[in-house]
Structure 1
Amino acid sequence: MENITKVWLGPLPADSPYVKPNRMYYVQNGVEKNWDLLKVHDSVAIILYNTTQQKLVLVRQFRPAVYHGVITSELGSFDEVDLKAFPPAIGVTLELCAGIVDKSKSWEEIAREEVLEECGYDVPVERIEQVLIYRSGVGASGAKQAMYYCEVTDADKANSGGGVEDEIIEVVELSLEEANRMVQQGAVVNSPPTCLMGLMWFFANRAPKSA
């Protein structure tokens, strides 16, 4: 995952299938304004709890946008990165199982596929429970995301997970104590708000009473 040997920036191709930049113009209270924004895919995220192990199942992966954010906060713009000064580990995150909505399938079916591909658990779609639907990245994209909850057991394990094609994803099982520390006051983590919100929802609504 951290075996990255070179990092550099380039212009965004106009035909990117994932990100479409635009400037939106509008008139508000008689004043013309504009806002730079991105059109991105809607997505799903899944809170995954293994009841056999009593552990939450998350995924660990290298996120270029996080790596870029860390570097530019210190350097501003850059052409090529000194990997000794900025090791790839600073861009590795711990997240909920998730994926973009880019297929003609129900969102629950897409969530089920992500659970299988990323984490290796094969569960029927009926066990995918909707938690919340909300907007992410409201300052930049406003994309819709649906959060789901799914309980799995060791018997549901069909493969080792890790993603498809050239994805490099590590499955991480956290004890409830470890996960709880991620959302305590003062915690500093490389996790997105969706993950932290999902963990807090779990502890408020589904965690065993002793957790």
Structure 2
Amino acid sequence: MEDIRNVRLAPLKDSNYLKPFRFLYTQNGTPKSWDLLGVHDSVGIIIYNITRKVLVLVKQFRPAVYYSSVHPDNRKDTIDTDKYPGSLGTTLELCAGIVDKNKSLLEIAREEALEECGYDIPADKMEEIATCRSGVGEQSALFTVFFCEVTDDMKTGAGGGIENELIEIVEKTIPEMEEMMNSPGPLASPPGFLYAIMWFLHHKAGKYKN
């Protein structure tokens, strides 16, 4: 996963995922503008395995995280991967996915749990927690969080994603997550993940410690 080579930067001519545009408006009589991105909404799933008492998370390479880890002076057409190894772009996240199908959020969440983590989770075991917004400065997409308990018997596949996805399943105990959340950082995880873990530690973790 972290063996990243041949990193190059190129103009973005077209995208199925990002739609840049300029937002023009008048506020209190003053003309203003703001540059925005149109992106898909997404779902994330907090998965707790009660058989082994671990949170089931995913690790993957995120180009945006990698790029932001490269000093601006070194953001040339080609980036030196010896100086900037792929590990700089590796994140710890919830099992998650974008909303790009004509399906309900629950159906998409169940699909992602199966594809990324290998768990076939019945719909009635999925609890919708909250919906928040991400990237309010440039896109403000909705991020809906689900929670579910799973057992080893519910794992029917290897996970790891589909097609050319490269996703590693990571299991963390509650004490390990508490230690991570109390660390000074910087944490290589998105705000939605941090919110979801804080919710889990506040609302659910106590019952699993007994």
Is 1:32 the counterpart of 2:24 in the alignment? no
One-letter amino acid of the counterpart of residue 201, structure 2: F
In the alignment, the residues of structure 1 paired with residue 22 and residue 181 of structure 2 have an alpha-carbon distance, to the nearest angstrom, of: 36
Map 1:1-211; keep pairs closer than 5 Å: 1-14=1-14, 16-71=15-70, 73-75=71-73, 77-184=75-182, 186-209=184-207, 210=209
In the alignment, the residues of structure 2 paired with residue 139 and residue 9 of structure 1 have an alpha-carbon distance, to the nearest angstrom, of: 24
Structure 1 residue ranges, 4+ long, deviating more than 2 angstroms after superposition: 73-77, 208-211
Q: CA RMSD in A?
A: 1.3
The percent of aligned pairs where both chains have the same amino acid is 51
In the alignment, the residues of structure 1 paired with residue 25 and residue 75 of structure 2 have an alpha-carbon distance, to the nearest angstrom, of: 30
Matched residue SS, 1:36: strand
Matched residue SS, 2:205: coil
Matched residue SS, 2:120: coil
Listed as ranges, the gaps of 5+ residues in structure 1 are none
In the alignment, the residues of structure 1 paired with residue 111 and residue 81 of structure 2 have an alpha-carbon distance, to the nearest angstrom, of: 35
Q: Deviations over 1:3-59 (max 9, x none)?
A: 222101111123x11000011100000000000110000000111100111100100
The offset of 1:134, in angstroms, is 1.3
One-letter amino acid of the counterpart of residue 124, structure 1: P
In the alignment, the residues of structure 2 paired with residue 27 and residue 74 of structure 1 have an alpha-carbon distance, to the nearest angstrom, of: 34
TM-score (norm 1): 0.95
Instruction: Indicate conservation of the 8 Å contact 1:128/1:150, yes or no.
Output: yes
Matched residue SS, 1:199: helix
In the alignment, the residues of structure 2 paired with residue 100 and residue 207 of structure 1 have an alpha-carbon distance, to the nearest angstrom, of: 27
Matched residue SS, 1:110: helix
In the alignment, the residues of structure 2 paired with residue 30 and residue 187 of structure 1 have an alpha-carbon distance, to the nearest angstrom, of: 42
Q: Deviations over 1:57-110 (max 9, x none)?
A: 100000001001111x45364210111100011000000000000011110010
Listed as ranges, the gaps of 5+ residues in structure 2 are none
Matched residue SS, 1:25: strand
